């Protein structure tokens, strides 16, 4: 058995890899580890996205939670950042989200937050995993009145909406906005918040049926949103992913504005208003080189971490920064929430648009996006961390690094959540880097299968 936890919780195909047995064990071990220091009977909030497997896994997870004597509050369909917020607000002992984020509907995942609303450290995840592998040895399961209860609180989503409106009380009545909710967890909360703030709103993909989450929609499939923004003559398009912890945008001309550009816009606005702590933005090694050039030009220090929003957040907390994120649209504003929050990111962007009166295309011109190619190589999940052990792959990567040295960069890494090796190349010529990235990805797949 490999490590259960990836970069964002435990992920797998629901029913085969992420089974009800595993969900129950995660509920037991997670509740025990996260609440064992508590003198009171602990409580854990549980939310999920719109996948058909969410109810099945939530029931199994909560059975595990209750079996070790903890209580569960089931909040139903909620964005990941809403669970983080509600965990803090209600001062419960932990929160759990059942979601596979941007992945296809057959996948699902289980992600824990501690009582402060932060994702778990590697050490805590390892402790949970060790308990599971050890079959909960030495853990005494209560009986009778010691068993936990489940409380159903589907009204909690309204508290998140109110929190968003108070955090960013802006008047959106002058903006026409198209939102794509990915048939996911934001289909109610994002729509309600933006509507309440006065936006002229066009909403697409807000009718989840359990099987259509992320299906040709949301932040991983932007074509429809781009076309709709132009057709509607809208000011901006906003795309969320399945669990609504990430945001990508589209300007009035139908052009993509990615996470790097969104951070550049918001970061420069915060710097001008004196609210960007230490004039620093934290990003990952996948961030476009153009972002670093923007930072140099505007006097913003750019701090880099390995890939994964959890590592961005760790750096932010350790060093006292308040803005960070990823090109993929995970953006963290620690003054407002403890994790990436697509709706919060949207409101920060809209605030800049309202206060400056500028079009999004003009705001996005603050940075020049250098040509970048990202191609996924499909590989067996248990082999994805070992791609450099194949001499043919190692030689090909070395040759590419020499080719682009000084005029770009090559970054190869395993996905933390999927059976993929990601090939990213930056350079001057889009056609050349596309071709090279496709060739290397094909070689990796062919060699490792």
Give me the CATH number covering residue 418.
3.30.310.50
Closest CA to 187 of 211, 170, 204, 175: 204
Alpha-carbon Rg of the chain, whole angstroms? Answer: 22
Measure the CA–CA gap between 333 and 263, rounded to whole angstroms.
10
Active site residues per annotation: 101
Q: Is residue 4 part of a domain?
A: no
Using CA atoms, how far residue 91 sits from 46, 85, 88, 142, in Å, is 14, 10, 5, 24
Q: What is the pLDDT of residue 174?
A: 93
Contacts of 71 (CB under 8 A, 6+ apart): 41, 42, 43, 44, 65, 148, 149, 150, 151
pLDDT in tens, 3-61: 788 777 899 999 999 999 999 999 999 999 988 877 788 999 999 999 999 999 999 99
Contact by Cβ (8 Å): 332, 325: yes
Q: What is the pLDDT of residue 353?
A: 98
Q: What is the pLDDT of residue 421?
A: 95
Contact by Cβ (8 Å): 4, 10: yes
Tally of domains within the chain: 3
Contact by Cβ (8 Å): 94, 124: no
Measure the CA–CA gap between 361 and 252, rounded to whole angstroms.
7
Q: Is residue 356 part of a domain?
A: yes
Q: Is residue 24 part of a domain?
A: yes
Measure the CA–CA gap between 375 and 378, rounded to whole angstroms.
10
Which residues of the chain register pLDDT less than 70?
Answer: 1-2
pTM: 0.89
Whether 298 and 169 map to the same domain: the answer is: yes
Whether 344 and 441 map to the same domain: the answer is: no
Instruction: Give the CA angle between residues 337, 166, 243 to the nearest 5°.
Output: 45
Q: What does the block give as tokens for 35?
A: 């609440």
Q: What is the pLDDT of residue 218?
A: 97
Q: In what order do the strands lie in the sheet with 420-426?
A: 372-378, 420-426, 409-414
Task: Select from 154, 187, 214 the last residue of a domain.
Answer: 154
Whether 358 and 233 map to the same domain: the answer is: yes
Whether 142 and 30 map to the same domain: the answer is: yes
């Amino acid at each position: 058995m490999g490590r259960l936890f990836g970069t964002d919780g435990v992920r797998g195909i629901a029913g085969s890899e992420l089974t009800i047995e595993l969900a129950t064990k995660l509920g037991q071990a997670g509740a025990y580890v996260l609440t064992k220091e508590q003198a009171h009977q602990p409580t854990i909030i549980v939310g999920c996205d719109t996948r058909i497997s969410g109810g099945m896994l939530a029931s199994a997870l909560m059975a595990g939670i209750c079996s070790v004597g903890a209580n569960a509050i089931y909040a139903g369909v909620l964005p990941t950042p809403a669970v983080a917020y509600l965990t803090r607000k209600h001062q419960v002992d932990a929160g759990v989200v059942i979601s596979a984020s941007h992945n296809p509907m057959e996948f699902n995942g289980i992600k824990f937050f501690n009582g402060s609303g932060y994702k778990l450290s590697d050490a805590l995840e390892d402790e949970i995993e060790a308990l599971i592998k050890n079959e909960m040895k030495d853990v005494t399961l209560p009986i009778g009145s010691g068993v936990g209860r489940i409380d159903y609180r589907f009204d909690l989503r309204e508290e998140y909406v109110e929190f968003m409106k108070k955090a960013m009380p802006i008047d959106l009545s002058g903006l026409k906005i198209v939102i794509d909710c990915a048939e996911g967890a934001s289909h109610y909360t994002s729509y309600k918040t933006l509507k309440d703030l006065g936006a002229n709103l066009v909403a697409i993909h807000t009718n989840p049926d359990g099987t259509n989450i992320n299906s040709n929609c949301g932040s991983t499939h932007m074509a429809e949103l781009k076309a709709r923004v132009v057709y509607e003559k809208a000011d901006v398009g906003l795309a969320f992913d399945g669990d609504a912890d990430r945001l990508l945008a589209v300007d009035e001309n139908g052009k993509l504005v990615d996470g790097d550009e969104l951070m550049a816009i918001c970061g420069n606005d915060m710097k001008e208003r004196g609210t960007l702590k230490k004039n620093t933005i934290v990003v990952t090694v996948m961030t476009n080189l153009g972002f670093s050039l923007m930072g140099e030009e505007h006097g913003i220090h750019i701090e880099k971490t390995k890939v994964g929003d959890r590592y961005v957040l760790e750096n932010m907390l350790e060093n006292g920064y308040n803005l960070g994120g990823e090109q993929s649209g995970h953006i963290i504003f620690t003054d407002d929430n403890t994790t990436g929050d697509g709706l919060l990111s949207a409101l920060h962007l809209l605030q800049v648009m309202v206060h400056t009166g500028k079009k999004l295309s003009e705001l996005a011109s603050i940075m020049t996006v250098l040509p970048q190619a990202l191609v996924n190589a499909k590989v067996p999940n248990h082999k994805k961390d070992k791609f450099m052990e194949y001499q043919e792959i190692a030689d090909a990567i070395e040759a590419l690094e020499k080719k682009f040295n000084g005029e770009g960069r090559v970054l190869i890494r395993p996905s933390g959540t999927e059976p993929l090796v990601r090939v990213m190349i930056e350079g001057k010529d889009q056609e050349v880097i596309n071709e090279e990235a496709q060739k290397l990805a094909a070689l990796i797949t062919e060699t490792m299968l």
